[in-house]
């Protein structure tokens, strides 16, 4: 595995941190996976998963969103501060155009299938990135995606006045964040999360929460645009994001190639917790299959056989099959009556 880091500058003058994980020399690159991290997180925290995918020939790339991880702004007021949801999308498109595309061309990987994926807020971001650049991707992975939340009474109230809170006190940390005990059932994973100095801890800023809510709602309006292969992965015990919301979303996308893995008993941190090997393998196999074979085609629908091709029923000697009763209002024709009488006579002679 060869890891490289770098940076690019967004349209607002902020320096954003990038990282890539390439398979060892001699291992052919079968696919490139662009991975987006969650809210307050950073891409390198999932490095162990990326290294596992490298071993299978999957290169992984990504960057830290503004105000998160190792990206600017680095001062406290700017950490976890999302002034506009569109800024996240704009930065992602700039990352591809100004940094990733030239880098892949330089490495001779421009024609290798490119996949988009992300966890939590990254699953939401991955969806918006694909929506904006559908022509460059071979598939979308939504792992524990934050496309909606479990709505508590407090969250409903805050959402109802979200625009007011965002305008009056945008940086105030008012909205309850995910709890460490909900991240994973493994205490070591929770401990590592809480002690990581690069992770943004604490409640979500008022404006950030309001902008993410706009992102949730906007994705519903974009559902009809997702026609590429999609893989959803979600734990059944995840209390940070909503499994019912993911089911509903995938039910309405037009893609003929949609897979949903529900990890029984899984928490939010599926790539860090006890189910990590299972989930890493599911994502690895899905990516490699689509990279090699393309989208899975839906099973062909069975066409009804023409009536004239149907074999006539064998008459039974012991009893003639009664004719189906006519629906109310249907008349029996003379020809049908004659045919019925003829059948009864034949059965009696037998």
In a domain, 302, yes or no: no
Please list, in sequence order, all residues whose beta carbon lies within 8 angstroms of the beta carbon of residue 73, skipping any fewer than 6 positions away. 14, 66, 67, 79, 81
Q: Mark whether 218 and 319 lie in a shared domain.
A: no
In a domain, 221, yes or no: yes
In a domain, 228, yes or no: yes
CA distances from 177 to 76, 126, 240, 344 (A): 17, 21, 9, 78
Report the distance separating Cα 170 and Cα 210, nearest Å: 9
Signed CA dihedral, 220, 97, 20, 211: sign only: negative
Q: Mark whether 11 and 89 lie in a shared domain.
A: yes
In a domain, 298, yes or no: no
Q: Mark whether 194 and 335 lie in a shared domain.
A: no
What confidence category does residue 90 fall into, taking pLDDT thresholds of 50, 70 and 90? very high
Q: Mark whether 143 and 188 lie in a shared domain.
A: yes
In a domain, 300, yes or no: no
Q: Who wins on pLDDT, 276 or 323? A: 276
Q: Mark whether 227 and 332 lie in a shared domain.
A: no
What confidence category does residue 345 fall into, taking pLDDT thresholds of 50, 70 and 90? very low
Q: Mark whether 154 and 287 lie in a shared domain.
A: yes
Q: Mark whether 30 and 111 lie in a shared domain.
A: yes
Q: Mark whether 261 and 321 lie in a shared domain.
A: no
Helix axes 276-293, 47-54, angle to 10 degrees: 50
- Arithmetic mean of pLDDT, 82-92: 98
Domain membership of residue 327 as a residue range: 314-349
Kindly tell me the burial class for residue 106, based on how many C-beta atoms sit within 10 Å of its own C-beta (0-12, 13-18, 19 or more): exposed
Q: Mark whether 29 and 132 lie in a shared domain.
A: yes
Predicted local distance difference test score (pLDDT) of residue 157: 73
Q: Compute how many other C-beta atoms are within 10 angstroms of the C-beta atom of residue 313.
A: 7
pLDDT at 92 over 70: yes
What confidence category does residue 316 fall into, taking pLDDT thresholds of 50, 70 and 90? very low
pLDDT at 325 over 60: no
- CATH code (residue 9): 3.40.50.1820
In a domain, 301, yes or no: no
Predicted local distance difference test score (pLDDT) of residue 134: 97
pLDDT at 83 over 70: yes
Please list, in sequence order, all residues whose beta carbon lies within 8 angstroms of the beta carbon of residue 150, skipping any fewer than 6 positions away. 239, 242
In a domain, 119, yes or no: yes
In a domain, 173, yes or no: yes
Q: Mark whether 220 and 331 lie in a shared domain.
A: no
Q: Mark whether 197 and 344 lie in a shared domain.
A: no
Q: Mark whether 242 and 321 lie in a shared domain.
A: no
How many domains would you assign to the chain? 2
Full-model pTM = 0.83
């Amino acid at each position: 595995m060869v890891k490289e880091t770098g940076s690019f500058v967004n349209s607002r003058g902020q320096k954003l941190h990038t990282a890539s994980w390439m398979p060892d020399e001699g291992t052919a690159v079968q696919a490139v996976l662009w991975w987006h991290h969650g809210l307050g997180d950073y891409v390198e925290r999932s490095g162990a998963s990326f290294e596992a995918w490298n071993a299978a020939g999957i290169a992984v790339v990504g960057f830290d969103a503004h105000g998160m991880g190792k990206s600017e702004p680095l001062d406290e007021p700017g950490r976890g501060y999302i002034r506009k949801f569109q800024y996240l999308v704009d930065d992602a498109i700039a990352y591809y155009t100004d940094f990733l595309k030239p880098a892949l061309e330089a490495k001779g990987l421009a024609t290798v299938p490119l996949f988009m994926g992300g966890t939590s807020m990254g699953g939401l971001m991955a969806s918006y990135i694909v929506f904006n650049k559908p022509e460059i991707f071979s598939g979308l992975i939504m792992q524990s995606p934050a496309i909606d939340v479990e709505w508590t009474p407090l969250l409903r109230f805050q959402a109802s006045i979200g625009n007011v809170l965002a305008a009056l006190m945008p940086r105030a940390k008012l909205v309850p964040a995910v709890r460490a005990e909900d991240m994973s059932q493994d205490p070591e994973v929770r401990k590592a999360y809480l002690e990581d100095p690069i992770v943004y801890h604490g409640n979500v800023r008022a404006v950030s929460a309001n902008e993410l809510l706009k992102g949730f709602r906007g994705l519903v309006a974009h559902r009809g645009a997702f026609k590429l292969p999609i893989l959803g992965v979600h734990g059944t015990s995840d209390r940070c994001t909503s499994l019912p919301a993911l089911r509903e979303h995938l039910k309405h996308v037009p893609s003929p190639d949609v897979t949903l893995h529900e990890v029984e008993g899984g928490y939010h941190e599926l790539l860090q917790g006890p189910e990590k090997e299972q989930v890493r393998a599911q994502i690895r196999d899905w990516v490699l299959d689509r990279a090699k074979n393309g989208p899975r085609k839906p099973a062909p629908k069975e066409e009804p056989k023409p009536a004239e091709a149907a074999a006539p029923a064998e008459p039974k000697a012991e009893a003639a099959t009664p004719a189906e009763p006519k629906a109310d209002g249907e008349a029996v024709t003379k020809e049908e009556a004659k045919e019925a009488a003829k059948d009864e006579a034949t059965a009696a002679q037998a």
